[in-house]
């Protein structure tokens, strides 16, 4: 439905909610100009994202993979949080029982002030040592290729969940607990086709939460949710937050 027809109800539910969970995907960052890095946006030197974001690709040619991630970091470094990111951060300030689950790796939620969050696919501004496994922030643009761990001097890799890898157990545990205990679940800018995030709306709904979708288009979630608001995240999400 158009935002106006369900907006009032969602605002009421959000204002009254004790526990709030927000799930975000690429749609919220698209309004900041962040490319998807998939499909046509993902083409780089004739490589697809699906060919480079794998453990096998990194093992075979870590320099190539790091050059691609450096290119991505250079693009994302120019982007800033938009009004939707800022509204989600305001929801956290207004609701003590709040959790944000994001599929995005761009770090824009943190830049907007979000602190109670699971970045289930990782963060492009974090690096992980392939030796000692230490995870640290690294915002170098350009990043040194090949980057080495300052502690053990092993090769660093992007702290990203690649194709073929499992999500962190702690992120899954924390997200599941939040979904099962919330009153309101907002699903913003995600198509709902990539698991396990594709199942999060069902978890919240089955636990009794009021579930709201905000997206430009109809998604597999649309028939499941209580209210579907169609529009750009930067336009719709700020309208939900009471100043």
Higher pLDDT, 20 or 197: 20
For residues 151-156, average pLDDT = 97
pLDDT (tens digit per residue) in 209-243 = 999 999 999 988 888 999 999 999 999 999 999 75
pLDDT at 38: 65
Looking at residue 148, its pLDDT comes to: 97
User: By the 8 A CB rule, do 82 and 111 touch?
Assistant: no
pLDDT above 70: residue 62: yes
Q: What is the pLDDT of residues 126-146, one digit of tens each?
A: 999 999 999 999 999 999 999
pLDDT of residue 49: 84
Where in the sequence numbering do the catalytic residues fall? 121
Model confidence at 39, pLDDT cuts 50, 70, 90, reads low
Mean pLDDT taken over the chain: 93
- Full set of structural domains in the chain with CATH: 3-32+80-120+168-240 (3.40.50.1220), 39-78+129-160 (3.30.1600.10)
Asked if the model's pLDDT at residue 17 lies above 60, the reply is yes
- Give tens-digit pLDDT for 191-213: 877 778 889 999 999 999 999 99
pLDDT at 187 over 90: yes
pLDDT attached to residue 1? 52
SS (H, E, C) the chain: CCHHHHHHHHHHHHHHCCEEEEEECHHHHHCCCCCCCCHHHHCECCECHHHHCCHHHHHHCHHHHHHHHHHHHHHHCCCCCCHHHHHHHHHHHHCCEEEEEECCCCCHHHHHCCCCEEECCEEEEEEEECCCCCEEECCCCCCCCCCECCCCCCEEEEEECCCCCCCCHHHHHHHHHHHHHCCEEEEECCCCCCCCHHHHHHHHHHCCCEEEEEECCCCCCCCCCCEEEECCHHHHHHHHCCC
Q: Using CA atoms, how far apart are residues 117 and 97, in angstroms rounded to an integer?
A: 12
Average of per-residue pLDDT across 51-75:
96
Residues sharing a CB contact under 8 Å with residue 243, sequence separation 6 or more, in sequence order: none
Tens of pLDDT, residue by residue over 66-120, are: 999 999 999 999 999 999 999 999 999 999 999 999 999 999 999 999 999 999 9
Q: What is the pLDDT of residues 165-181, one digit of tens each?
A: 999 999 999 999 999 99
């Amino acid at each position: 439905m158009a935002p106006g027809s369900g907006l009032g109800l969602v605002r009421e539910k959000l204002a009254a909610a004790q526990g709030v969970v927000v799930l975000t995907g690429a749609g919220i960052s698209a309004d900041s100009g962040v490319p998807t890095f998939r499909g046509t946006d993902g083409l780089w030197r004739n490589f697809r994202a699906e060919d480079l974001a794998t453990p096998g690709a990194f093992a075979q040619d870590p320099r190539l993979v790091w050059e691609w991630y450096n290119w991505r970091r250079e693009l994302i470094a120019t982007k800033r949080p938009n009004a939707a990111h800022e509204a989600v951060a305001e929801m956290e300030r207004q609701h003590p029982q709040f959790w944000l689950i994001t599929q995005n790796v761009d770090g824009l939620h943190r830049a907007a002030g979000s602190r109670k969050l699971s970045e289930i696919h990782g963060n492009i501004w974090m690096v992980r040592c392939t030796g000692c496994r230490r995870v640290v922030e690294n915002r170098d643009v350009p990043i040194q290729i090949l980057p080495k761990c300052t502690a053990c001097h092993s090769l660093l890799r992007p702290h990203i969940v690649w194709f073929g890898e499992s999500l962190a157990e702690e992120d899954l545990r924390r997200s599941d607990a939040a979904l099962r205990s919330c009153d309101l679940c907002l699903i913003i800018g995600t198509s709902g086709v990539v698991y396990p995030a594709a199942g999060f709306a069902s978890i919240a709904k089955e636990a009794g939460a009021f579930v709201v979708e905000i997206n430009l288009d109809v998604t597999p979630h649309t028939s499941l949710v209580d209210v579907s608001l169609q529009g750009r995240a930067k336009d719709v999400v700020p309208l939900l937050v009471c100043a």
